[in-house]
Amino acid sequence: MATKRFPGFIDVHVHLREPGATQKEDFYTGSRAAIAGGVTFVIDMPNNPTPTVSIERLDEKVALAKKAICDIGFHYGTNGKNADTFAEAASRPEVFGLKLYCNHTTGEMLIEDPKLLETVFAAWPPGKPILVHAEGPQLDMAIALADKHGQRLHVCHITQASEVEAVRKAKAAGRSVTAGVCPHHLFMTEKDREEKKGYATMKPPLGTLEDQAALWAGLVDGTVDIVETDHAPHTKEEKEKDPPAFGVPGLETSLGLMLKAVADGSITEERVVEAMHTLPRKIFNIPEQPDTYVELDPDAPYTAGKDGYESKCGWSPFTGWELYGKPMKVVLRGKTLLEDGKIIA
Ligand code: DOR
Ligand code: ZN
């Protein structure tokens, strides 16, 4: 066993809940969770109670996020009626993409009307990707619209075997499509909901064993480009309600789960670094973070949640699991933020 140095990991899909839902998380606690998990750059999603669909809301978020201890970017949001703000939003260096919800989830940003969807794909200035929450038939529609309007499409939290196939086909046809998979879909299936109930409830929901196998095959062969957590904290109370809130936290367990998969021989360490650093950086054009690294021993097992969590929600569906490679030191642009496995920032 030996400590190794890795680049700072990147998570392009997190919900840090500020402003509007800081009972679940805020930029300070969410960024501490990132650093604890070896993640030095996150991109925050726009589905706040008051969605990030105007320049005013965007500026407010950028200001609030100054308290984050990791680097942070933002995806702009759309309700289909804010196309007049796209050029300004896309020109901001803090903005890395446009998030579009084609299926129901937490928040009020669902667009179902095909005409409105077309308006969005036509109006976003091509360059920065359009990220879609699109399941099943909605995914086919998004792939077609992106192609028609010359947009780069990123398919978030791909879940079903048929969706992996749709992305494989689109890539083979030369379409500008990338896809991300979440650790919860890689490591759990619908069976886990029987025991974990609300704590294993999210959108898109956990799939079948067949879906899970297709996700692993797609991640290993590169059809699925990256790992993104969809870190979506909710309070325990909100998860124990009927129906429970959708979403699970992921920042503090994603790297440990992926290194567990390396230890099991399911994927190579090189591919994990590519899926959690190199490709997210390339797809979203994230600036280099000089003098930034994570030190850990990829062969060292540890128990998830043994010392609690940094995330304000204070739980994880993976508590008690044996993970690998707990970050022991994290340095961000020359500043040590985590030492001996503890945040010192
Ligand atoms: O489970 C989910 N939770 N899926 C999403 O797409 C949104 C997220 C949230 O914000 O809670
Ligand atoms: Zn999400």
CATH of 4-343, one of 3.30.420.40, 2.10.10.90, 3.20.20.140, 3.40.30.10: 3.20.20.140
| pLDDT score of 64 | 98
What are the sequence ranges of the domains in the chain? 4-343
> What is the reported pLDDT for 299?
97
Q: Is 313 in the pocket of ligand 1 (CB under 6 A)?
A: no
CA dihedral in degrees (75, 24, 341, 1; nearest 10)? -70
Q: Give the DSSP letter string of 248-296.
A: ---TTTHHHHHHHHHHHTSS-HHHHHIIIIIHHHHHHTPPP-TT-EEEE
Ligand 2 centroid from CA 232, angstroms: 7
Please tell me the number of the ligand nearest to residue 44's CA. 2
pLDDT score of 38:
99
From the CB of 202, is ligand 1 less than 6 Å away? yes
- Residue 334 Cα, ligand 2 centroid: separation in angstroms? 30
Across the chain, the runs of DSSP E, i.e. the strands, are 4-7, 9-14, 39-44, 71-77, 95-101, 130-133, 153-155, 177-181, 226-227, 293-296, 301-303, 322-324, 329-332, 335-339, 342-343
Q: Is 105 in the pocket of ligand 1 (CB under 6 A)?
A: yes
The per-residue pLDDT for range 47-56, each reduced to its tens digit, is 999 999 999 9
Q: Output the CA 204–ligand 1 centroid distance in Å.
A: 8
What are the tokens at 241?
């309600």
Q: How far is the CA of 148 from the centre of ligand 2 (A)?
A: 25
Mutate-to-test residue for ligand 1 from 13, 15, 231, highest number of ligand atoms within 8 A of CB: 15
Q: In angstroms, rounded to a whole number, what is the distance separating the alpha carbons of residues 158 and 225?
A: 11
Q: What is the pLDDT of residue 150?
A: 98
Look at residue 3 in the predicted model and tell me its pLDDT. Answer: 97
Cα angle, residue 17 at apex, residues 16 and 21 outer, rounded to 5° = 155
Q: How far is CA 283 from CA 97, 122, 128, 192, 309, in A?
A: 10, 21, 9, 32, 30
Which ranges of the chain have pLDDT less than 70? 1
